[in-house]
Amino acid sequence: MKSKVSVIIGSIFAAYVAFVAVVVLVYEPTPEDMNWEDRQAYNSQKMNDLTLGQNIGSVKELLGKADFSEAKAVKEAKLQVLFYRTHHEKSDGVTTKEECTPLIFENDKLIAWGQDTYKQYLDAGTDTVLTSAHETLSSK
């Protein structure tokens, strides 16, 4: 009787260890499941995989939910800016836009990203960003 109990307990333990091993090897957390430090590092790394003209859906699939977003219509275009945390400014427990990289989309296509581009967009108006983005995409 004792040997049957030992075998049952051993089998349950082995199954548990196998289950944990599979979960550890296969499970990949989504960006939303990560803590802020891991998500920040993940976003910084994944920014290297972005390409001009990329669809907003594929960017959201890659990076997850944005930390902030802005949107407006400009002439006949829909302009959207998604902000993803990529660097640490100060430890206050709050993510700010200054700790994020902006991604600018026109009609759901990625046309630019980065602080300098966003500053140009804010300073010069949207026509400048849209025109240079169209020129960049047209030249490819």
Give 10-residue mean pLDDT values along the chain (140 residues): 79 86 76 84 92 96 93 83 89 86 94 86 54 43
* CA–CA gap between residue 72 and residue 65 (Å, rounded): 19
Q: What residue segments make up the domains of the chain, in order of their start?
A: 31-138
Evaluate whether 105 touches 111 at the Cβ level (below 8 Å). yes
Q: What is the pLDDT of residue 66?
A: 94
Q: Architecture of domain 31-138 in CATH?
A: 2-Layer Sandwich (3.30)
Q: What is the pLDDT of residue 2?
A: 66
β pairing state of 68-74 and 77-85? antiparallel
Evaluate whether 78 touches 108 at the Cβ level (below 8 Å). yes
Q: What is the pLDDT of residue 123?
A: 64
First-to-last C-alpha distance (Å) of the chain: 75
Residues 6+ apart with CB under 8 A from 93: none
